[in-house]
Amino acid sequence: MNNNDLSSLYNIRFAKNQLFRKNEIWRVICKVFLNRFVKQSDVVVDVACGYGEFINNISAQKKIAIDLNPNTKAYLKPEIEFHECKATELSSVILGAADVIFTSNFLEHLPDKETLELFLDQVLMALKPGGIYLILGPNLRYLPGKY
């Protein structure tokens, strides 16, 4: 799938009229739960950030968003640094300087275990010593047989 196909898929899957609602939900998730893992002085990287629901709502000194969709930048707040690249190229964007790396509903879309291992190696290279990788995933109990 090329990046233009990805843009079309995002437009179908994530209708623009739902973005306000999703951002409000993520604002609460960040405020009530995720902010406890992120310090104001942190560098936070959101991999496969979609339309920026997490990175737009988390509090941090520096925020970096990564996605293959070239249209993503239009949905990010101006202070967010955007890189259009593969998740498996994470260390080309940030090497040993991230305090927190975040993904939501991403790992289950990787094509195989080798790609997962490559991505996790990239996460380790991108994180500072003592940095954390926050992972949200689908509740498989509600998706029997899907993964």
Q: Give the model's pLDDT for residue 108.
A: 87
Pick 96 or 22 by higher pLDDT: 96
Q: Give the model's pLDDT for residue 37.
A: 96
> What is the C-alpha to C-alpha distance for residues 98 and 72, in angstroms, rounded to an integer?
21
The CATH H-level superfamily of 3-142 is Vaccinia Virus protein VP39 (3.40.50.150)
Per-residue pLDDT at 33 exceeds 80: yes
Task: Please give the single-letter amino acid code of residue 72.
Answer: T
Name which of 129, 127, 136 is nearest 45 in CA terms: 127
Q: Which residues pair with 46 in a beta bridge?
A: 65, 102
Q: Give the model's pLDDT for residue 147.
A: 56
- Give the pLDDT mean for 112-135: 97
pTM for the structure as a whole: 0.85
Task: Please give the single-letter amino acid code of residue 130.
Answer: G
Tokens describing residue 22: 């999703």
3-state secondary structure 51-88: CCCCCCCCCCCEEEEEECCHHHHHHCCCCCEEEECCHH
Tokens describing residue 5: 């196909």
CB 50 within 8 A of CB 14: yes
- Per-residue pLDDT tens digits for 39-96: 999 999 999 999 999 999 999 999 999 999 999 999 999 999 999 999 999 999 999 9
